[in-house]
Amino acid sequence: MPDLPPYVWALILGALVVGILAGHFGWGRRWPRGLGRFHAEYLTGLDYLISEQPDRALDSFLKVMDANADTLETHFALGSLYRRRGEVERAIRVHRNLLARGLSPEHREQARLALAQDYLRAGLLDRAEGLLRQVSEGTRLRARALEALRVIYERQRDWTQALDAHRRLAALDAAPPPAVAAHYQCELATYHLERGDVDEARRLLRRARREVAVFPRAAVLRAQIAEREGNAALAVRLLAWALQESPRLLHDEFAHLLRLAGDGSRDKLLEDLVSRAEQRDFGELKGLVFAALALSLAHAAPLRTSIEKVIRLEPTLNAVREAAGGAPFEYVAAEIGALLARAETYRCADCGFAARRFYWQCPGCQSWDSFETYVIIQLR
């Protein structure tokens, strides 16, 4: 782009601003057919201009634009355009420039929220938090500010504050599902358990179950408490229930459960798990069989029929069986077990993040309960 004198920049930007305002205030609707498209074209033009000479364009823009009521929307549009493009420093300049001028309380809230979003994007959580707290005291943008605060507290693993934001959002009918609050209670319970405060952990787990009645994570933690207090029978009951409600926990908790049950009640436990999985669906049975084979449990009598069935019906496993050319069942099961132990085990249904261990909250996209069992068997 040629080096234009400042007044030409001012003229170009002035024209763009008129175009943007036309779009924002709906002038295009009164224009002849076809002219309404101008808004999008002006935005594209603005986008192009700031791509070619970003700082120059912004300097001129801020000079041309007084933050009077007519140009405010254009400021906000430009700021969010910069943020969307990842040019956070420029977005911050636009929004701070706005805040430095005398704004109505309503517009000041909007500018604070926009600036907080810039800070969030830049990873400046403390600054974002300060602004969002101010916005959350108002009424108009309270829900958006509280939601952003909730996300910040999650990132900081400040579960008490996250819980508080969730509660305030619930009062506005704008909260994420109750399971998210139950996870916060479980995070806090884990914290107290690690410090030996079992009573506080129990209290928090009761609250988690008040949020969501069927909540396997709370049962896993209660099983830990029971185990710590020497009540293995209760720990087995709780953990077995959690695995039945949430079979994806098998990979991480199955071996632990079998150890707790001990040799005496192991077969009874396996029988219960198999019959429940057979009643539900093939996917669940497959998960149980995969976990058992990965733990070299092929010899356990209650599992034998189901293992044979899954190997026969699952094409990849059947290929292993056929390649073994009539080798004994134990040999085939051991081969498959070795393949499964190497297979990838979890993946986030929302963002695809893959991991060997289970996470209640995805480390990639921060979704709760999005991890699913995922097995890729690579034949040698």
Interface positions with Zn ion (CB under 5 A):
348, 350-351, 353, 362, 364-365, 367
* Nearest of 348, 305, 351 to residue 329 by alpha carbon: 305
CA distance 341 to 377: 9
The two most distant CA atoms of the chain are separated, in Å, by 89
> What's the closest the beta carbon of residue 284 comes to Zn ion, in angstroms?
23
> What's the closest the beta carbon of residue 339 comes to Zn ion, in angstroms?
26
> What's the closest the beta carbon of residue 256 comes to Zn ion, in angstroms?
25
Beta strands across the sheet bearing 346-348: 354-355, 346-348, 371-373
**DSSP letters along 87-128, please?**
-HHHHHHHHHHHHTS---HHHHHHHHHHHHHHHHHHT-HHHH
Shorter beta-carbon distance to Zn ion: residue 271 or 350: 350
What's the DSSP call for residue 347? E
Shorter beta-carbon distance to Zn ion: residue 174 or 349: 349
Q: What are phi and psi of 230, to 5 degrees?
A: 80, 10
> What's the closest the beta carbon of residue 294 comes to Zn ion, in angstroms?
24
Q: How many CB atoms are closer than 10 A to CB 99? A: 15
Shorter beta-carbon distance to Zn ion: residue 277 or 348: 348
The SS3 call for residue 68 is coil
CA distance 115 to 142: 15
Shorter beta-carbon distance to Zn ion: residue 13 or 348: 348
> What's the closest the beta carbon of residue 347 comes to Zn ion, in angstroms?
9
Region for 326 from its dihedrals, namely left if φ exceeds 0, alpha if ψ lies in -120 to 50, beta otherwise: left
* Sign of torsion over alpha carbons 359, 360, 361, 367: positive
Shorter beta-carbon distance to Zn ion: residue 41 or 372: 372
> What's the closest the beta carbon of residue 180 comes to Zn ion, in angstroms?
15
> What's the closest the beta carbon of residue 335 comes to Zn ion, in angstroms?
33
Q: Alpha carbon 366 to chain centroid distance?
A: 3
The SS3 call for residue 17 is helix
> What's the closest the beta carbon of residue 248 comes to Zn ion, in angstroms?
14
Shorter beta-carbon distance to Zn ion: residue 149 or 348: 348
CA distance 140 to 144: 9
| Encoded tokens for 162 | 């996250």
Shorter beta-carbon distance to Zn ion: residue 53 or 367: 367
Shorter beta-carbon distance to Zn ion: residue 62 or 351: 351
Shorter beta-carbon distance to Zn ion: residue 1 or 349: 349
CB 8 within 8 A of CB 53: no
> What's the closest the beta carbon of residue 351 comes to Zn ion, in angstroms?
3
Q: Going by DSSP bridges, is the β-strand pair 371-373/354-355 parallel, antiparallel, or unpaired?
A: unpaired
| Encoded tokens for 192 | 């107290």
| Encoded tokens for 89 | 């420093």
